[in-house]
Chain A
Amino acid sequence: MPVAWIPSLMQKLTEGQQQIPVEGSTVRQVVEALESLYPGFKDRIVEDDRIRTEIAVAVDGEVVTSGLRARVGAESEVHFLPALAGG
């Protein structure tokens, strides 16, 4: 089962949970699963059916380019990070 890593500033919402195994084969399914466990989660990550521009989602350490549709493997880690400006 993929594991979602919860940013420390969002752990209030997840009752202190840092790592949460959830079902899902896409980022969207992972976020929906987190939303059903912790209502309000999705709102922090998603706006207008897209990942918020100020947030980046990384699957297995790589920032995804296909947003909520990005594939998540059975052993994947999903991280939520602040989006970055380039160099």
Chain B
Amino acid sequence: MSAGNGYKVIGTRPVRHDGVDKVTGRAVYGGDTRLSGLLYGQVLRSPHAHARIKSIDISKAQALPGVKAVLTGADLPKTGDTIVDLGEGPARLKYMSDNVLATDKTLYSGHPVAAVCASNVHIAEEALDLIEVEYEVLEAVLNLREAMKEGAPQLHPDMTTQEFGEDTGRTSNLATHFQHKLGDPDTAFASADVVIEREFNTATVHQGYIEPHNATAMWNADGQITIWTSTQGSFAARAQTGAVLDIPVSKIKVVPQEIGGGFGGKIPIYLEPIAAMLSKASGQPVKLIMTRPAVFESTGPTPGSHIKIKMGANKDGKIVAAEAYIAFESGAYPGGLVGAAAMCVFSCYDIANGLIDCYDVVLNKPRSFAYRAPGSTQACFATEHVVELLAAELGIDPLEFRLKNSATTGTRRIDGVVYPKMGCKEVLEAIRDSEHYKSAAPSGPNQGRGISLGYWFNVGLQSACTASVNNDGTVSLSEGSTDIGGSRTSIAMQFAETLSLDVDDVRAQVVDTDSIGHTDVTGGSRVTYATGWAAYKSALDVQAQMCERAAQLWEVEVDQVAFEEGVFSSGDKSYTFKELSGHLDETGGPVIGRATVNPDSGVGGSFAANIADVEVDPDTGKVQVLRFTVIQDAGKAIHPSYVEGQMQGGSAQGIGWALNEEYYYNKDGQLDNSSYLDYRIPTSLDLPMIETIIVEVPNPGHPFGVRGVGEANIAPPPAAMAGAIADAIGVRLQELPMKPSNVLAATQASEGQAALAAGG
């Protein structure tokens, strides 16, 4: 298997090293944790969207045989007004703690109010029924635009709108407001030949990982706590748990178990402090697994949004100005996802004048968290809609219009960032050159084609890696990045490439927080980029040490030892890596390479695009995807199969977001679709094969040119689907999801208008 480009390992498709464990059922996920004397916990959740907790009586639950401990928010340490950044953006510690177990108020239906552990899960469930909570039900607000109005029910009476480091002193549900401005948008709009403005709404959606949240904890008699959990970041989980429990992180070891999907939703903690406190109270290890309804009601969701986009262009097809108003639901507590939306909303285009005005709004839903390119999907849906309308108004082919306005190296985004080398244009050209695009668009009744373009900026952050050389020349690589989609292998491949080793001779394992340097979350498409970089640097460290060993053996100076293509040499002497590894014991003992990174330059963003063909059922409004292609800039694809997998997975999630997925709250503010039956994610039958085209515009900021590919791919699908639906039925929808009833209503409205026009 040769990879081309001079690489031996990078670009090949080895079987992932954790693969056999995962196809035989041996891999241990969080919920599979088994310990001696294990107790089982359950959490009682508020049925009310907004209520004051007047009292909680746990006495009957405590008295139930088999119950070992009962916990309420009053048992958690009191937290001050501290602002902490614990791996998922800045947050007020009280908010974080109150989201684990409510104290004074419950702010969404599903908000935890108490927890129990017992000898089995059924007894724990029975005990929940015996906990008596007296609520004073308060008026709730679950609609974004209602929540923004003056006089709306206020979730946090003391919360005032923050405007970029300035406290406005105004109490409302508007947590933050900020703006980006570039150039002179007013003048530019006035000079534009065409100006188009539209308004959009997108529903609250969930990350939908198949594995429910879980945590198992043992609080030892010596005060040391071990937590086994499925988390995107063991160090983030440790920091958050330590903060909520007010204990130093040195007292906590987080053991990251295999994780069944996260997509941003397993960065925050929910159960970890509860498991720890229940273990402390009972003296035994305690495991909690969320029920599926609890996962939907209490975790995740990513923000619903209200967006207005205005764009102006000249007759020659150049976009001259753009304006966005973006309001995001942050759920029960202030979040931070609208900032990312602002960085993505016009990021595909070179626009000299613009204004982006953003609001983060609290309302009575679970606290919003990241979901794959958080904020970008909503923004992309809105912007691409207006881009298509501008192209149509100007009579320019939509792909050509995008190419003409494409962001490129040196483009300044409206938020001020200037792009380094980027693959936006190349991704658009790949659409143009694709077999799919060149093939005739589907021309049957109610069939259509759409294209779209999206972006995610990616992040760097901290990673650590250690590499132990075994005396047979194999390497044990330890790293701290939770492996959610094959990253152990892509990390091992980068290490192997650096030292010209066989990839199967490098075994990467994800280790606990006591066994590796701080490593930030698996998120922001950072692992293959940053942890891969740490692996590369640790390989160079190994190489340097091995050269010293060879110098000892050959009795030469170290600078007389060369290393090339896996062979150490000096004059006529040479050792392969394996041969030299057999001499470590006589030259000073083990060799351990180590490296840490915290890149603050070179994080390369990634663009993704779609071509979608659909057919709309005119009787039901159901949209069937006929053909779907995803194109993405990977910089350099380390393991192309897993790059394709990210692209296909993000596409499927984007299609679900486009067509089906949304939270339905009833009039009492309770979630009515908290199961996979009713919160319908795409099944195998809903999708066609998803064609992939990997574009490689190497990232100059990474030793192998890597750009993270985990996220940008979810941004363009709703926009592409909207375009395809518009092509099919003549109506361009401004709301997500484009579910059958909405599509049908739009079709009927448009037919009604046509009939009126014909009749008139």
Once the chains bind, are B83 and A87 in contact (CB under 8 Å)? no
- Known: A81-B415, A82-B336. Is A87-B165 also a contact (CB below 8 A)? no
Q: Write out the residue numbers on chain A whose beta carbons fall within 8 Å of the beta carbon of B355.
A: 8
- Known: A7-B179, A62-B600. Is A84-B339 also a contact (CB below 8 A)? yes
B5 sits at the interface (CB 8 A): no
Once the chains bind, are B165 and A45 in contact (CB under 8 Å)? yes
Once the chains bind, are A87 and B336 in contact (CB under 8 Å)? no
In the complex the two chains form, what is the Cα distance from A61 to B162 in whole Å?
24
A54 sits at the interface (CB 8 A): yes
In the complex the two chains form, what is the Cα distance from A81 to B263 in whole Å?
24
A74 sits at the interface (CB 8 A): no
Within 8 A of A (CB), among B166-183: 166, 176-181
Q: Which of the 9-residue segments B113-121, B135-143, B519-527, B576-584 touches chain A?
A: B519-527
Once the chains bind, are A7 and B339 in contact (CB under 8 Å)? no
Once the chains bind, are B89 and A61 in contact (CB under 8 Å)? no
Within 8 A of B (CB), among A32-87: 43-45, 52-55, 58-66, 70, 77, 79-87
- Known: A10-B164, A82-B339. Is A87-B373 also a contact (CB below 8 A)? yes
**Cβ distance B234 to chain A, nearest Cβ, rounded Å:** 15
- Known: A5-B416, A87-B523. Is A53-B85 also a contact (CB below 8 A)? yes
Query: Within the complex, which residue of A54, A77, A84 is in contact with B83, where a contact is CB–CB below 8 Å?
Result: A54
**Cβ distance A76 to chain B, nearest Cβ, rounded Å:** 11
Write the chain B residue with the least CB distance to A46.
B165
**Cβ distance A81 to chain B, nearest Cβ, rounded Å:** 7
Once the chains bind, are A53 and B84 in contact (CB under 8 Å)? yes
Query: Within the complex, which residue of A7, A59, A85 is in contact with B340, where a contact is CB–CB below 8 Å?
Result: A85
Query: Within the complex, which residue of B87, B166, B418, B600 is in contact with A64, where a contact is CB–CB below 8 Å?
Result: B600
Q: Write out the residue numbers on chain B whose beta carbons fall within 8 Å of the beta carbon of A64.
A: 600
Q: Write out the residue numbers on chain B whose beta carbons fall within 8 Å of the beta carbon of A44.
A: 164-166
Once the chains bind, are A86 and B521 in contact (CB under 8 Å)? yes
Q: Count A/B pairs, Cβ under 8 Å.
A: 126
Chain B interface, DSSP helix/strand/loop, else mixed: loop
What 0/1 pattern do residues 81 to 104 of B give for CB contact below 8 A with A?
A: 001110111100000000000000
- Known: A60-B601, A70-B600. Is A86-B84 also a contact (CB below 8 A)? no
Q: Write out the residue numbers on chain A whose beta carbons fall within 8 Å of the beta carbon of B602.
A: 62
Once the chains bind, are B420 and A7 in contact (CB under 8 Å)? no
- Known: A9-B164, A82-B339, A86-B523. Is A53-B177 also a contact (CB below 8 A)? no
In the complex the two chains form, what is the Cα distance from A43 to B181 in whole Å?
22
Q: Write out the residue numbers on chain B whose beta carbons fall within 8 Å of the beta carbon of A53.
A: 83-85, 90
Query: Within the complex, which residue of A55, A77, A86 is in contact with B264, where a contact is CB–CB below 8 Å?
Result: A86
**Cβ distance B674 to chain A, nearest Cβ, rounded Å:** 24
In the complex the two chains form, what is the Cα distance from A7 to B381 in whole Å?
26
Q: Write out the residue numbers on chain B whose beta carbons fall within 8 Å of the beta carbon of A82.
A: 164, 176, 178, 336, 339, 342, 358
Q: Write out the residue numbers on chain B whose beta carbons fall within 8 Å of the beta carbon of A17.
A: none
Q: Write out the residue numbers on chain B whose beta carbons fall within 8 Å of the beta carbon of A77.
A: 416, 418
Write the chain B residue with the least CB distance to A5.
B416
Q: Which of the 9-residue segments B364-372, B566-574, B678-686 touches chain A?
A: B364-372
Once the chains bind, are B369 and A7 in contact (CB under 8 Å)? no
B598 sits at the interface (CB 8 A): yes
**Cβ distance A62 to chain B, nearest Cβ, rounded Å:** 5
Once the chains bind, are B600 and A66 in contact (CB under 8 Å)? yes
B384 sits at the interface (CB 8 A): no
What 0/1 pattern do residues 1 to 15 of A give for CB contact below 8 A with B?
A: 000010111100000
Query: Within the complex, which residue of B164, B337, B603 is in contact with A85, where a contact is CB–CB below 8 Å?
Result: B337
**Cβ distance B331 to chain A, nearest Cβ, rounded Å:** 12
Q: Write out the residue numbers on chain A whose beta carbons fall within 8 Å of the beta carbon of B416.
A: 5, 58, 77, 79, 81
Q: Write out the residue numbers on chain A whose beta carbons fall within 8 Å of the beta carbon of B524.
A: 86-87
In the complex the two chains form, what is the Cα distance from A44 to B167 in whole Å?
9
Once the chains bind, are A60 and B418 in contact (CB under 8 Å)? yes
**Cβ distance B262 to chain A, nearest Cβ, rounded Å:** 10
Q: Write out the residue numbers on chain B whose beta carbons fall within 8 Å of the beta carbon of A83.
A: 85, 89-90, 336, 339
Once the chains bind, are A87 and B181 in contact (CB under 8 Å)? no
Which size class do B's interface residues fall under?
Answer: 35 or more
In the complex the two chains form, what is the Cα distance from A70 to B177 in whole Å?
27
Query: Within the complex, which residue of A10, A59, A62, A86 is in contact with B370, where a contact is CB–CB below 8 Å?
Result: A86
Write the chain A residue with the least CB distance to B330.
A85
B745 sits at the interface (CB 8 A): no
In the complex the two chains form, what is the Cα distance from A29 to B54 in whole Å?
52
B267 sits at the interface (CB 8 A): yes
Instruction: Choose among A55, A70, A77, A82 the residue with the greatest number of B CB atoms under 10 Å from its CB.
Output: A82
Write the chain B residue with the least CB distance to A64.
B600
Once the chains bind, are A9 and B89 in contact (CB under 8 Å)? no
B751 sits at the interface (CB 8 A): no
In the complex the two chains form, what is the Cα distance from A79 to B414 in whole Å?
12
B711 sits at the interface (CB 8 A): yes
Write the chain B residue with the least CB distance to A43.
B165
Q: Write out the residue numbers on chain A whose beta carbons fall within 8 Å of the beta carbon of B336.
A: 54, 82-85
Once the chains bind, are A63 and B178 in contact (CB under 8 Å)? no
Q: Write out the residue numbers on chain B whose beta carbons fall within 8 Å of the beta carbon of A62.
A: 460, 600-603
Once the chains bind, are A8 and B337 in contact (CB under 8 Å)? no
**Cβ distance B647 to chain A, nearest Cβ, rounded Å:** 16
B459 sits at the interface (CB 8 A): yes
Q: Write out the residue numbers on chain A whose beta carbons fall within 8 Å of the beta carbon of B710.
A: 87
In the complex the two chains form, what is the Cα distance from A76 to B602 in whole Å?
15
Once the chains bind, are B165 and A52 in contact (CB under 8 Å)? yes
Q: Write out the residue numbers on chain A whose beta carbons fall within 8 Å of the beta carbon of B177.
A: 9
Write the chain B residue with the least CB distance to A19.
B416
Query: Within the complex, which residue of B339, B601, B711 is in contact with A87, where a contact is CB–CB below 8 Å?
Result: B711
In the complex the two chains form, what is the Cα distance from A70 to B89 in whole Å?
20
In the complex the two chains form, what is the Cα distance from A28 to B599 in whole Å?
20
In the complex the two chains form, what is the Cα distance from A18 to B184 in whole Å?
11
Q: Write out the residue numbers on chain A whose beta carbons fall within 8 Å of the beta carbon of B462.
A: 65
B163 sits at the interface (CB 8 A): yes
**Cβ distance A69 to chain B, nearest Cβ, rounded Å:** 11
B698 sits at the interface (CB 8 A): no
B325 sits at the interface (CB 8 A): no
Once the chains bind, are A63 and B600 in contact (CB under 8 Å)? yes
**Cβ distance B209 to chain A, nearest Cβ, rounded Å:** 13
Write the chain A residue with the least CB distance to B459.
A86
Write the chain B residue with the least CB distance to A45.
B165
Q: Write out the residue numbers on chain A whose beta carbons fall within 8 Å of the beta carbon of B371.
A: 87
In the complex the two chains form, what is the Cα distance from A82 to B260 in whole Å?
31
Once the chains bind, are B419 and A61 in contact (CB under 8 Å)? yes
**Cβ distance A54 to chain B, nearest Cβ, rounded Å:** 5
B335 sits at the interface (CB 8 A): yes
**Cβ distance B365 to chain A, nearest Cβ, rounded Å:** 16
In the complex the two chains form, what is the Cα distance from A5 to B405 in whole Å?
24
**Cβ distance A5 to chain B, nearest Cβ, rounded Å:** 5
Write the chain A residue with the least CB distance to B376.
A87
Within 8 A of A (CB), among B319-349: 335-337, 339-340, 342-343
Q: Write out the residue numbers on chain B whose beta carbons fall within 8 Å of the beta carbon of A84.
A: 89, 336-337, 339-340, 343
A-B pairs with lowest CB-CB distance, top 9:
A85-B89, A44-B165, A53-B90, A8-B181, A82-B339, A85-B336, A87-B370, A86-B523, A8-B179
Q: Which residues of B contact A (CB under 8 A)?
A: 83-85, 87-90, 162-166, 176-181, 263-264, 267, 335-337, 339-340, 342-343, 355, 358, 369-374, 415-420, 456, 459-462, 520-521, 523-525, 598-603, 710-711
16 example contacts (A-B, Cβ-Cβ < 8 A) are as follows A5-B416, A7-B164, A7-B178, A8-B181, A9-B163, A9-B164, A18-B181, A55-B164, A60-B418, A62-B460, A65-B599, A77-B416, A83-B90, A84-B339, A87-B372, A87-B711
- Contacts beyond the supplied A83-B339, A86-B461: 7 A-B pairs with Cβ under 8 Å: A9-B166, A53-B84, A61-B419, A65-B600, A81-B339, A83-B85, A85-B339
